[in-house]
């Protein structure tokens, strides 16, 4: 089997409210259901120090900022609420709606630091799906080419 490319970061779509919670309310626990939970046969491609890019959902097709991934883990819903309730980028009620029908599935919990909004947003040619998009050495320049720090 071919080796998968190194992951430098991941782009996930986020709502305007989540963007506000990250940048204005200093919430630093990002939650995401993934297609499947890693197991002994699958390797987690994210790593501490990778970037989490914020893609503004709703049709604008822009990346508005990023943050550094400090830690990531897969946790069940009750443990997330007991450990991170006040630090989540969503409210408890929003998390319960997001989790409806998946209450027993583990959630990817990403602790972020140093969130920053870009001076100039990155306009993408195609929308990002809820699955997100990995940024690798092979696609970084193509995806982030218009970025001005």
84-139 tens-digit pLDDT: 999 999 999 999 999 999 888 999 999 999 999 999 998 888 888 888 888 888 88
Distances in Å between the alpha carbon of 40 and those of 24, 32, 37, 44?
A: 39, 21, 10, 10
What percentage of the chain exceeds 90 in pLDDT?
58
pLDDT-based confidence at residue 32 (cuts at 50, 70, 90): very high
Q: Coil, strand, or helix at residue 95?
A: helix
In sequence order, the β-bridge partners of residue 138 are none
pLDDT-based confidence at residue 82 (cuts at 50, 70, 90): very high
61 class by beta-carbon count within 10 Å (0-12 exposed, 13-18 middle, 19+ buried): middle
The predicted model scores a pTM of: 0.88
């Amino acid at each position: 089997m071919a080796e998968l490319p190194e992951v430098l970061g991941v782009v996930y779509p986020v709502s305007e409210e989540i963007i506000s919670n990250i940048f204005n309310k200093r919430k630093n626990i990002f939650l995401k259901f993934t297609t499947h939970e890693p197991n002994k046969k699958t390797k987690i491609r994210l790593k501490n120090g990778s970037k989490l890019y914020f893609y503004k959902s709703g049709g604008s097709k822009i990346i508005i900022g990023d943050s550094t991934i400090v830690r990531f883990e897969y946790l069940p819903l009750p443990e997330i609420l007991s450990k991170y309730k006040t630090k989540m980028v969503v409210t408890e009620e929003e998390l319960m709606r997001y989790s409806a029908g998946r209450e027993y599935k583990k959630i990817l919990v990403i602790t972020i630091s140093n969130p920053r909004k870009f001076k100039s947003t990155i306009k993408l040619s195609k929308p990002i799906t809820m699955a997100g998009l990995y940024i690798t050495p092979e696609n970084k320049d193509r995806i982030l080419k218009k970025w001005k720090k």
